[in-house]
Amino acid sequence: LYILDLNTGKTNILQLSKESLERLEIFFYSNDDLFIKYNVKTNEKIEESEYLDIWNGNSRYLYPSTFKQKYKLEYKAFVYKYITNTLHELNRTRDYDYQFINLPNHILAYNPFKFQDFTSTSPKIQYDLLDINNLTTIRSITDRNTSGFIASNNGNYVIYPIDETKWEVLNIKTKEYTTIDCDKSTNVTPVWSSDSKHIFYAFKNKLMRFDLSDKKQVAILDSKTDARITFSNKNRLNNKAAATIDTQNPILVTIKNNNNTWIYKIDKNKSQIIIDSKGNDLSRIYSHLGNLTTKNLSTIVYTEENYNLPISIKVFNQGKISTLLESDMPKHLYADRKKETITFKDKFEKELKGTLYYPNNFDKNKKYPMVVYIYGEENTDTKEFILPTTLNSIGFNIPLLNDNGYFVYYVQSYVSDQGVGISAVESVTSGVNAILQKEQAIDNQKLGLIGHSFGAYKASFIATQTNMFSAIISGAGAHDIIVGNMYRYNLHRNKLNWFIVEKGQYQFKQTYAQNPQKYLDNSPILHAHKVKTPILLWTGLKDENVPWENTRNMYAALKRYQISTIALFYKNIDHAIMPNQSLEDNDLTFRVMDWFDYFLKDNKKIDWINKGIDPNNYTWNLLDNF
């Protein structure tokens, strides 16, 4: 390893290993020391590696073999001291590893397997902050990621969580610590000031500042709403150094909830709203906002849009807002876009929302079919300007359906104690009944339902419990909640999948052994014999997130009971269609439109559907090997 001193032009050479290095990682400390770690392949073969993969019952890490010849590895880690030009080796093994932290003379040590029980997306890991000079442990925390330890720029302090509402600030030299109140559950990870004198963080919807000199916590901004708070002009550094805030210049803070976005300027402890979105969406450039802003915040470039307002580029300059660039799309193509959000309750008194998107050229004296879209409890009132296109990744596009004479109803659903499927039925049926009372132009005999992934699971289960809908489309869904979802290895996440069902999206909160009936009651494939509604199924044969066999098995169950169904299997598609897969994207979107047109608009001249569901005729797979 060659180390070039940019000040003197001198080069030092470190001899790391005579063998080739694998997984080499190099990080600079702020004092120019280096942390280095890598693996070395030995000559000792793992004899069975080309023909046998062994999964032990007590394993805490599982990864499918490639069945290529493998060799035992040696795990190396070093700290190079720049001033003394010395290399210090650290004892590193597969189950005792190190993670860099930009705190000179310190390193994080951890065992990646100690708490792994496959019950969560990210297992808890105990991180020990070690003093490299004597290898003593300064502080230990158990967290799900290394961002829990955040070092100050000057290397004198580190902050870390001790529970969900409290963090500690540790003085590295004196070993004294101070506890501060901080919401660990928010998106605002504590941020150091560049001069290491202050810490900024969130607590109870307030933006706080902690002063290390007097140990005082001061609220510098009260969002007065449950919102996402973002520091938009942090100094982002490479080398895993924590981003900081330059307190010599005003601080740019973005606050966003489901209804609005505010951009604040904080200068000398005074906060001021400089941009109010007034219900429009500014989020398209959130991650780049710091690069589109002058240091003194006199000028900010940003985008603005809404469902009925094309994207425009705005400029805030010296307190005034002007339009730099706007769309040349003719106004009549979007001016009459209409949507309405309602609040309703299901039979369990759960309050939910649904947003109705109106057909283009809406006439209140006409009746229109309605397509219901389902996923989760996310915001249904989109403020994104969506183009009516056939390139949609899941075959679903609100304005495209609106342009073709459909209402689209995006409805919230949640997970109750009865189970994710049962609560989805209650959410959707209650939501549909509520909107039918609100809007008389909806044809209640021509209702469709569509969902993808989590929403596809729900759409399939709803099909087994109600005849409210005349057509359903379910894409890439986990139709078999037990074998097809829980008891499997997830190749997309490279881990056992039961955490998703027990604690993730599906929120069963119990194992199958603890409550088998709940699983049986909420698994669509076990109720497939009850379905009366025609269902279009689709999946990608490269989907490792929700394996495509779920769709084939659901198709088999529906076919067993002679239910009108067609299944689409896309050769090159993963869990959703990628932007460069226009062939499949167009194909799926047109088939989705066809399915709804056939059953909701009585357009019976669609050949591929007629051939596929005609009970008085039969077909065979033209792609067979005969």
Per-residue pLDDT tens for 572-616?
Answer: 999 999 999 999 999 999 999 999 999 999 999 999 999 999 888
**Closest-CA residue to 571 (of 537, 541, 538):** 541
Q: Do 95 and 53 fall within a single domain? A: yes
pLDDT value for 238: 57
Q: What is the DSSP letter of 524?
A: G
Average pLDDT for 348-356: 95
- Token pair for 145: 């990621």
Q: Do 99 and 211 fall within a single domain? A: no
Assess if residue 257 is contained within a domain: yes
Residues 6+ apart with CB under 8 A from 457: 420, 421, 451, 474, 477, 478, 479, 481, 485, 524
Higher pLDDT, 187 or 123: 123
Q: Could you tell me whether strands 442-452 and 471-475 are parallel, antiparallel, or unpaired per DSSP bridges?
A: parallel
Q: Do 555 and 491 fall within a single domain? A: yes
Q: Report how far residue 129's alpha carbon sits from residue 111's, in angstroms, rounded to the nearest whole number.
A: 13
Distance (Å) of CA 387 to CA 249, 307, 549:
39, 9, 33
pLDDT value for 164: 78
- Under the banding of pLDDT at 50, 70 and 90, the label for residue 181 is confident
Q: Do 421 and 528 fall within a single domain? A: yes
Q: Do 292 and 336 fall within a single domain? A: no
pLDDT value for 185: 60
**Closest-CA residue to 606 (of 595, 618, 620):** 595
Q: Do 464 and 549 fall within a single domain? A: yes
Distance (Å) of CA 153 to CA 30, 248, 438:
8, 15, 57
Q: Do 385 and 501 fall within a single domain? A: yes
**Burial of 607 (C-beta count, 10 Å sphere; 0-12/13-18/19+):** exposed
pLDDT value for 626: 78
Q: Do 76 and 196 fall within a single domain? A: no
Percent of the chain clearing pLDDT 90 (strictly above): 75
pTM confidence score: 0.93
Q: Do 195 and 314 fall within a single domain? A: yes
Assess if residue 8 is contained within a domain: no
Tell me the chain's radius of gyration from C-alpha atoms: 29
- Under the banding of pLDDT at 50, 70 and 90, the label for residue 27 is very high
Quote the domain boundaries for residue 98.
19-113+129-136
pLDDT value for 186: 58
Q: Do 553 and 407 fall within a single domain? A: yes
552-577: pLDDT as tens digits: 999 999 999 999 999 999 999 999 99
Q: Report how far residue 429's alpha carbon sits from residue 411's, in angstroms, rounded to the nearest whole number.
A: 10
Assess if residue 625 is contained within a domain: no
- Under the banding of pLDDT at 50, 70 and 90, the label for residue 237 is low
**Helix ranges, 440-548 (H):** 454-465, 498-502, 516-521
- Token pair for 294: 């002058």
| Beta bridge partners of residue 304, listed in sequence order | 312
Which residue, 328, 348, 364, sits at the end of a domain?
A: 328
Q: Could you tell me whether strands 368-374 and 407-411 are parallel, antiparallel, or unpaired per DSSP bridges?
A: parallel
Assess if residue 281 is contained within a domain: yes
Instruction: Let me know: does 71 contact 46? Beta carbons within 8 Å.
Output: yes
Lowest mean pLDDT among 3-17, 295-309, 503-517: 3-17
Assess if residue 570 is contained within a domain: yes
Percent of the chain clearing pLDDT 70 (strictly above): 98
Q: Do 262 and 341 fall within a single domain? A: no
CATH of the domain at 503: 3.40.50.1820
Average pLDDT for 301-322: 94
b/e map 277-308, b = 16+ CB within 10 Å? beebbbbebbeebbebbeeebeebbbbbbbbe
Instruction: Let me know: does 315 contact 275? Beta carbons within 8 Å.
Output: no
- Token pair for 351: 């309050």
Give the chain's domain count: 3
Q: Report how far residue 445's alpha carbon sits from residue 369's, in angstroms, rounded to the nearest whole number.
A: 8
Instruction: Let me know: does 279 contact 383? Beta carbons within 8 Å.
Output: yes
pLDDT value for 18: 81
Residues 6+ apart with CB under 8 A from 175: 138
Which residue, 328, 360, 391, sits at the end of a domain?
A: 328
Assess if residue 144 is contained within a domain: no
**Closest-CA residue to 62 (of 117, 109, 22):** 117
- Token pair for 509: 């909160």
Q: Do 252 and 394 fall within a single domain? A: no
pLDDT value for 240: 55
pLDDT value for 184: 63
Assess if residue 248 is contained within a domain: yes
Which residue, 298, 328, 358, sits at the end of a domain?
A: 328
Q: Which amino acid is at 129?
A: L
Assess if residue 2 is contained within a domain: no
Q: Terminal CA-to-CA distance of the chain, rounded, Å?
A: 60
Q: Report how far residue 81's alpha carbon sits from residue 86's, in angstroms, rounded to the nearest whole number.
A: 5
Highest average pLDDT, of 59-63, 122-126, 533-537, comes from 533-537
